[in-house]
Amino acid sequence: MMREVLERRFARLEKEDPDRQSGEWPDLLLIDGGKGQLSSVCEVMEDAGVHDVPVVGVAKGPHHGREGREVFHFPGGREITLPPNSALLFYIQRLRDEAHRFAIGTHRAKRAKSLTTSTLDDVPGIGPNRKRALLMHFGTARAVKGAALEDLERAPGISKTMARQLYDYFHPAG
């Protein structure tokens, strides 16, 4: 996923600002991860022809979970740690925590949306009440999709016309 994001980002930057005059190009890429993630990012940067943006990977140290023991990985294998009371370390930890908070929030919102949407939402004439009735009768949207016309006609709140329309939607002639 990180590879895709970086490929899109740098392709867009190269297209929109090849001379790097807009101030949109990053001064530094700070990667949440260790050697593996850093290696992947460096490969993407190399493929994109970007050689002047420094990349640093930040990983939890040998005692995972202990704040202040992060290891900073640089291309070429060099590693450093900052003193546990370093203001820079605190700032980087806050950046990481905010990135995690944002990612987790986005993931939760996406998951919540997927729980309330289904293929039935795209069927013309199926509103919330019919959708609920179909799901109560068949159990899942997949079962509705695979149902025979006669089974759809027997569903409560579904007329023969609506059953035919629903069946045709999921089983187009051709």
| Residue 57 DSSP one-character state | E
Q: Does residue 9 carry a pLDDT above 90? A: yes
The tokens of 56 are what?
């640093």
Q: How far is CA 52 from CA 18, 27, 33, 102, 119, in A?
A: 13, 9, 21, 28, 46
pLDDT at 168: 92
What pLDDT score does 100 carry?
87
Instruction: List the domains of the chain with CATH numbers.
Output: 2-83 (no CATH), 119-170 (1.10.150.20)
Q: What global pTM score does this model have?
A: 0.62
| pLDDT digit string, tens, across residues 106-156 | 888 888 776 677 888 888 988 888 888 898 899 988 999 999 999 999 999
Give yes or no for a contact between 141 and 118, defined as CB atoms under 8 angstroms apart.
Answer: yes
pLDDT digits (tens, 9 = 90+) for 28-48: 999 998 999 999 999 999 998
